[in-house]
Structure 1
Amino acid sequence: MSSNTIRRDPFRSLLQLTAADLTTEERIRKALDVGREYLGVDNGVLSYTGGGRYEVVETNIESGPYAKGGSVDLEGTWCRHVVDGGRTLGFADARKTSYRGDDALDTTGLHCYVGAAVEVDGETYGTLCFSDEEPRSDPISDRERDFISVLAEWVSSELERQKHYAELREQNERLDEFAGIVAHDLRNPLAGAIGFTELAQDHVSGQAAEFLDRVRGALDRMETMIAECLMLAKEGTDVGERTRVDLEGVVRDAWDSVRTRNATLSVEVAAGTTVSADEMRLRRLLENLFRNCVEHGGPDVAVTVTGDDDGFTVSDDGPGLPADVERALTAADAENIRSFGLGLLVVQRVVSGHGWDLAVDSDGGGTRFAVTNLNTAEPVHEGLTAG
């Protein structure tokens, strides 16, 4: 067998393969073809070598122990040298090398071999190897070894990507399961508790009625927390499709849905102001900001919303936020934000999911939340894939 044939540039072939819309399995199969064609050999194999076994993950070999799904003892293969040494190994004719007495020559019957290690997340996964029963007349060049090393790194990246996507899918499935448990197993008994509390409120007065008002308030807060948990679990942070939302209208709708006690609202939004947003999430953001104003500012707090095409602010005349909360929000420190309540974490997630900017200013004279860059930020998922 000779390699003195006109061969396509393997790096160009790999670049074209990278740009192709294929599954991971299809990419790896074609990568094996690229390597076989470049080296001029018959066989290409991606193996998994954990536990001392040589398991064939992908190959063009159609029958025998080295067909896809086959498994043999690693010690009887050429690939054991790659796994043990961690370096690319290649020879055109084993009989003309120091490996001429190696057991793998008799076990596999392969005289020509080039193999490189495949790693996934920093650990050895297996090998990418190319071989032939017939010796090759031309020696394996450094350029050929280097390309197979690059090809093995490319396969490693494909396997890592597949693994991470699988982990993400599994995580999303767990989140969906969690959201289902929250929605069913917590909301159903909570609805019963609210219903019976309302019935009891109709039949008592005095101190008992005051106690039941507190119970109802706590149940309402639980219902709000469950809704916030569902939002964080199911909706995540990335905001995709958006619509033009009337800012003043969504502000007033959000205010009406929050128990604001004796708090007052002033809306100073330029006429006709609209926002490019996911309307439900924007309303969630405003509801949580209003709830925060009332909880930290007191029952008689005055809340003011101002806004135009560039952004909006929600401010109050309360005593201000603790310094730790302000620092966590400004730094988008989700771990610390969570410790101050889910409501502010929802605010941070909605802002970051839209690609907006959030500034917080709080002192003894009140707190001001400023959300800017409303109509210029692109959806997060588009920014990540835009080349």
Structure 2
Amino acid sequence: MPDPARESDSDQDLRTVLDRMADGFFALDTDWTVTYANEEGRRILRSAMSNNAVGADGSVEGRHLWDSIPGSAETEFYDEYHRAMETQTAVSFDSFYEPLDTWFEVRAFPSDSGLSVYLRDVTDQRELERRQRESLHAIQRLYAVSSDHERTFAEKVEAILTLGCEYLDVPNGFLTRIEDGTQHVEVSHADHPLLQPGEACPLDEAYCKRTVERDTLLTVVDATEEGWAGDPAHETFGLETYIGGRVEIDGERYGTLCFADTAPRGEPFADTQRTFVELLTRWVSYELERQRAAERLERERDRLDEFASVVSHDLRNPLTAARGRADLLAEECDSEHVEAVERSLSRMETLIDDLLALAREGDAVDDPEPVSFVALATDAWKTTDSGSGTLQRAVDEFEILADEARLRQLLENLFRNAVEHNSASSRAKPDDAGERGGDSERGGDGEYGGDGVTVTVGALADGDGFYVADDGRGIPEEEREQVFETGYTTSADGTGFGLNIVAEIADAHGWDVRVVESETGGARFEVSGVEPA
């Protein structure tokens, strides 16, 4: 920089511009002496220099940079400035200067007369980046915990409370349930004696009393300064830092999810931290809703199973007796009514079997085993009343992962559906031709060549599953979405359970099932999403 006593107007203008800069600037000569510093540059250098190195008027000009700043020779600034001077090449770098607790973005430009240095304080930017990295890491860990199917709900909550405490830098995280004016600590990761699982207190003595009254998070960073002194909650727990949100199930209050410390925080919670806590409260609410729905479904299944058992026990006995009487009646007389009675009794037996199957097929298949699809289909065909029908196998071998007993029942239901509704005995009157209902008890008719229906089993073209196809009259396109619904039938004799059981078994395996038209115009049931063995 020029001598101030000999400055030109342009030099003075340059100083004015530099002094107005928000960034720090200073110039060094070839001996590392400060020849000029703008206002921000002087502030930074004064903060770094030892007290006896700064002039009485606060000036830094004329001071040797490295002698005036303690420990500066061991810093990145020293290395980079010297590199710039030695190579006469501009350098740019970011570095943390610990004595000032500040991150600087530095640009240094060398010349024959010395070095010009620009400094920008990027501490806030670096802090924001750090928090963003921490938030991303916390979200990734939250996902890992929430998607871990091996953990129970309580174990997942304890894990996210631990994660929340680390992320928020507080020692206490806890989930509460509020019932009958009392706060119960359900799960916690805490060192506070009153915030351990099983602890309870009147809601009026808890911070959560205010939390559940709000639609947004309740945050406290210094309870004493914020007027909590004398509040029953503050007297009981002594918490100075607190952040918590309301947990709901199906829109109804359940309790709260909170994080707290007995020491003041000193600074507000960042937006990313507030968002993280809100995310945790919503996740817990969702998990509780899902848990309640699962329990409700389990109760419904238990009631259905009980109903099916009662049906099986209370109806099978009189049904067996009625069959015996019908056999005796057939031996004693030749009445046209006997065959009708036997058909009705057979239908009742089918209805009972389907009800029992429907009640027991809801549970998911957790441990499938390798099954030879072709061999199982062949065996299932033998136990199906196939009449004069024919089974064709489009593949010789095809192994899949499945529950063998339930897969067998799926195949038997599809075989029975094909045979019973494409047999000569099921042919309808001319004005009914072409109708086909949605389950294994549908009536109706179709026109066939030969003695009976031909059913073909094979693997899907992409190897993703298998199919069961027949050469019957098929299912109208407008009915294909309905055929798997419980109770759907177009026949007065239908139960509406046969194909619904097929759908239930497929769903229990995690498979998808649909019906399309076969190559011969019949029905083709395709089961996809099947894992090969």
Aligned to 2:427: 297
Aligned to 2:213: 84
Once the two structures are superposed, residues 19-47 of structure 1 have per-residue CA deviations (whole angstroms, 9 ceiling, x without a partner) of 54321111112222222233333322211
Question: How far apart are the structure 1 equivalents of 2:516 and 2:364?
Answer: 20
Distance change (3 Å), C-alpha of 1:333 and 1:32: same
Aligned to 1:206: 334
**Do residues 30 (structure 1) and 159 (structure 2) align?**
yes
Question: How far apart are the structure 1 equivalents of 2:207 and 2:220?
Answer: 11
Check conservation: 1:254, 1:284, Cα contact below 8 A: no
Question: How far apart are the structure 2 equivalents of 1:132 and 1:269?
Answer: 70
Segments of 5+ residues of structure 1 without an aligned counterpart are 383-387
Question: How far apart are the structure 2 equivalents of 1:27 and 1:248?
Answer: 43
Q: What does 1:76-155 align with in structure 2 at a 5 Å threshold?
A: 76-100=205-229, 102-155=231-284
Moved more, 18-27 or 343-352: 343-352
Distance change (3 Å), C-alpha of 1:171 and 1:360: farther
**Do residues 313 (structure 1) and 462 (structure 2) align?**
no
SS of residue in 2 equivalent to 1:94: coil
Aligned to 2:100: none
SS of residue in 2 equivalent to 1:90: strand
Shift of 1:166: 2.4
Report the RMSD for the aligned CA atoms in angstroms.
3.9
Distance change (3 Å), C-alpha of 1:358 and 1:79: same
Shift of 1:128: 0.6
SS of residue in 1 equivalent to 2:470: strand
Check conservation: 2:376, 2:408, Cα contact below 8 A: no
Aligned to 1:358: 515
Question: How far apart are the structure 1 equivalents of 2:237 and 2:231?
Answer: 11
Aligned to 1:231: 357
Aligned to 1:378: 530
TM-score under structure 1 normalisation? 0.76
Check conservation: 1:246, 1:275, Cα contact below 8 A: no
Once the two structures are superposed, residues 46-84 of structure 1 have per-residue CA deviations (whole angstroms, 9 ceiling, x without a partner) of 111244332221124588664423333223322122211
Check conservation: 2:185, 2:195, Cα contact below 8 A: yes
Higher relative contact order (CA closer than 8 Å, sequence separation 6+): 1
Moved more, 174-183 or 329-338: 329-338
Question: How far apart are the structure 1 equivalents of 2:274 and 2:206?
Answer: 19
SS of residue in 2 equivalent to 1:192: helix
Aligned to 1:163: 292
Aligned to 2:102: none
Check conservation: 2:468, 2:524, Cα contact below 8 A: yes
AA partner of residue 328 (structure 1) = E
Question: How far apart are the structure 2 equivalents of 1:167 and 1:117?
Answer: 23
Shift of 1:248: 7.9
Q: Percent identity at matched positions?
A: 28
Distance change (3 Å), C-alpha of 1:275 and 1:286: farther
Check conservation: 1:56, 1:69, Cα contact below 8 A: yes
Segments of 5+ residues of structure 2 without an aligned counterpart are 1-126, 429-443, 460-466
**Do residues 192 (structure 1) and 349 (structure 2) align?**
no
Equivalent residue pairs, number: 358
Aligned to 1:286: 415
| Structure (1 or 2) with the greater helix fraction | 1
AA partner of residue 411 (structure 2) = L
Question: How far apart are the structure 2 equivalents of 1:379 and 1:344?
Answer: 29
AA partner of residue 327 (structure 1) = E
Distance change (3 Å), C-alpha of 1:238 and 1:75: closer
AA partner of residue 297 (structure 1) = R
AA partner of residue 470 (structure 2) = V
SS of residue in 1 equivalent to 2:454: strand
Shift of 1:335: 4.9
Check conservation: 2:145, 2:159, Cα contact below 8 A: yes
SS of residue in 2 equivalent to 1:337: coil
TM-score under structure 2 normalisation? 0.57
AA partner of residue 313 (structure 1) = A
AA partner of residue 162 (structure 1) = Q
Distance change (3 Å), C-alpha of 1:377 and 1:11: closer
Q: Which has the larger radius of gyration?
A: 2
Question: How far apart are the structure 1 equivalents of 2:379 and 2:198?
Answer: 58
AA partner of residue 87 (structure 1) = T
Question: How far apart are the structure 2 equivalents of 1:29 and 1:331?
Answer: 45
